[in-house]
Amino acid sequence: MTVVKSTLPEEALGVTGTALQDTLVDLLGLSLVGKQAHWNIVGPRFRSIHLQLDEVVATARAHSDTVAERASALGVPPDGRPETIAATFALPGTKDGWLRDTEVVELMVSSLEAAIGRLRERIEATEKADPVTQDLLITITADLEKQRWMFQAENHTSAG
Ligand SMILES: [Fe+2]
């Protein structure tokens, strides 16, 4: 059923719709991973990382709304159902139970790096297909790279 008619030709829409849907799942999953770590972190660096994790969650949630609505605007119904996230989430996630502060930092660096790598592939894929979507993906990547930087800086224990 086509309810919202797209402004893009079919092939470009296919590429763009996939890029947006995959980004939606990455961001929703990342927001869940961030909250899980926010609640379960233990260790001497609890406070700063606990707070930092909520910045990741806020960023991921805000951008998930942007990409979902971009998909809708293009006529592609976004799928943010829990079962879809569970079936298709492909970033490093967390084990259950308490998490050491050091483990959390490593987890967030690797999860953000994976998300960034996937976004950069989609930036390339959408360059011709839809530069407007590409522009959104570039903004999201910049914000996730900022978060990755802050976790990586957290992890640095000795000078040099
Ligand atoms: Fe909280």
Instruction: Tell me the CATH number at 57.
Output: 1.20.1260.10
pTM exceeds 0.75? yes
How many whole angstroms from 140 Cα to the centroid of ligand 1? 23
| pLDDT score recorded for residue 1 | 66
The pLDDT of residue 60 is above 60: yes
Backbone φ, ψ for residue 6 (5° rounding):
-85, 150
In a domain, 3, yes or no: no
Q: Provide the number of structural domains found in the chain.
A: 1
* Average confidence (pLDDT) over 121-137: 98
pLDDT, residue 79, reads 98
Please tell me the predicted confidence (pLDDT) of residue 156.
72
Residue 36 belongs to some domain of the structure: yes
Q: What percentage of the chain reaches a pLDDT higher than 70?
A: 97
Give the pLDDT of residue 160: 53
Closest to 136 (Cα-Cα) out of 30, 19, 33, 54 = 19
Q: Is residue 138 part of a domain?
A: yes
Mean pLDDT across 133-150: 98
How many angstroms separate the alpha carbon of residue 38 from the centre of ligand 1? Answer: 7
Task: Please work out, in degrees rounded to the nearest 5, the angle formed at the alpha carbon of residue 72 by the alpha carbons of 118 and 132.
Answer: 55
Q: Is the pLDDT of residue 159 over 60?
A: no
CA of 92 to the centre of ligand 1 (A): 22
Ligand 1 mean position to 107 CA, how many Å? 18
Is residue 76 in a domain? yes
What's the CA-to-centroid distance between 12 and ligand 1, angstroms?
40
Lowest mean pLDDT among 126-130, 143-147, 151-155: 151-155
pLDDT digits (tens, 9 = 90+) for 88-121: 999 999 999 999 999 999 999 999 999 999 999 9
Rounded distance from Cα 49 to ligand 1 centre (Å): 11
- Cα of 150 to ligand 1 centre, how many Å? 19
User: Residue 3: pLDDT above 90?
Assistant: no
Residue pLDDT, tens place only, 31-47: 999 999 999 999 999 99
Which range marks the domain in which residue 119 is found? 17-154
